[in-house]
Amino acid sequence: MATNTNTPLSALKFDNRFVRELPADPDSDNIRRQVLSSCYSFVDSTQVSSPQLVAYSRDVAELLEISEDDCQAELFKHVFAGNELLDGMKSYAQCYGGHQFGNWAGQLGDGRAINLGEVVNQQGQHHTLQLKGSGPTPYSRSGDGFAVLRSSLREFLCSEAMFHLGVPTTRALSLITTGEQITRDMFYDGRPQKEPGAVVCRVAPSFLRFGSYEIFASRGDLDTLKQLVDYTIRTDFPHLGEPSVDVYIQWFAEIAERTMDMVVHWMRVGFVHGVLNTDNMSILGLTIDYGPYGWIDNYDPNWTPNTTDAEGRRYRFGTQPQIAQWNILQLGNALYPLIEQAEPLQKIIKDFASDYTGKWQQMRAEKLGLKQFIADTDEELNTELHEVLQLVETDMTIFYRKLADLDVHDQTFTDDELLSPLMSAYYAPDAMSKDDKTQICSWLRQYQQRARQDDLSNEIRRKNMNAINPKYVLRNYLAQLAIDDAEQGDFALVNELLELLRHPYDEQADKENFALKRPDWARQRAGCSMLSCSS
């Protein structure tokens, strides 16, 4: 692979601590195999024929101190499609394992992700650059290591959308098509098709995940496990102090808290990850590995976007907190050999549920524009809201956004007047029965009464609610429309959505069409309702 040093991008500074301080795979052959006692394998990306820039995030470019001119230069395409390395880059794939759908899957690893190195900006912040879809690695198993445009586009847009929603997440710098055709069986029906290939450059302080530690514990390789744990604490959790048993416990507690904070945000905005395996859980509490994710359109706690999970629904919207706790348990099991104290670990795992519930209740109070959660009144209020949202097909995003427009101080409304601000949230308003309307209006009057207790004006309450309840989210059908255009070489909608989703809480008068309910044509269409892991 060529190394280019005489370019504007060469001003990027790399400090590749991960490969400098942790054990490397001694075997340089890029063949599928078990990799032992090593945290990573050096590997080069696969050269592609004709990279074309689809879009880039100017926010992430600014974070990395890459100019907009550089982002549009020829070299940028070749570097972030995997054709060239800048001076200081060291490309490698990580080794990790994981529990998948509740079962130990053994070694997994970066099967189609290749890390380029760690950029250090002028503020001293480290950001790892990772190409997803840039070719096979020793961890590719039966896969080819590449990615198609549809899944890459979804990951690129969602990474940035989540960041601007205030959700902890990895970022995305660029989306580049490769000029290659990739074979995928999207529906797992034995009819594979050729699709355009693409590469996403993902960005995060670290791409370590729960499975990074599980793999060494599962093999009884405690030396490498300890080396990785100590490295993680020193680099990403330095505020905890020098590694020790007590610090390991504190670190585990912080991972649990970061994880629950992340899930609270998912529930707040209606995001369903879809594949909450332990290899998809960031050690930093970041949303990672955007695969068959989805956004709740109609409120349904049992909905999962993942076709692979359609029967068991393990990773459905409503169970994400419980699955996160289960995953924390698996990480605790992996760390136990270094701690050899079950009680503190068990307490952290047990407390996860109650600690999460407290955060979740406060979040729900804020979504309703309330100052704080008051158990005596708000537990019942939220329980009934959970039922009301499922009486008729109700768009979650629109419901909360329109609820902010309700005048809570006027007690003279008829039922029709009370419902009026919310009607655009219902997918079949004409199908609403008299009993449904009565129950919904009963809840709205309880809500009015509770909101008046906070003694806030309608204007202030509306402002508070609109700051936490987004108007714009990356609805599945919007991403699919962008995919349809992009596969025909038209990238305008990708870039329009990228800009729209930088301001998800703002009223954008000329973009109202992006805040509408899911159209009927998208109800059952692949990519809009259910998605596969085929990417």
Annotated catalytic sites, by residue?
A: 279
* Distance separating alpha carbons of residues 414 and 423, to the nearest angstrom: 14
Query: Do residues 45 and 91 touch, judged by C-beta distance below 8 A?
Result: yes
Give the three-state DSSP class for 67: coil
Query: Do residues 31 and 113 touch, judged by C-beta distance below 8 A?
Result: no
* Distance separating alpha carbons of residues 187 and 151, to the nearest angstrom: 14
Query: Do residues 185 and 534 touch, judged by C-beta distance below 8 A?
Result: yes
* Distance separating alpha carbons of residues 96 and 81, to the nearest angstrom: 24
Inter-helix orientation angle 210-218/320-339, to 10°: 50
The kind and range of the H/E element at 173 are strand 171-184
Query: Do residues 72 and 101 touch, judged by C-beta distance below 8 A?
Result: no
The structure tokens listed for 143 are 């896969």
CA-to-CA dists, residue 283 to 33, 52, 259, angstroms? 25, 33, 8
The structure tokens listed for 330 are 């698996």
Determine phi and psi for 69, rounding to 5 degrees: -60, -40
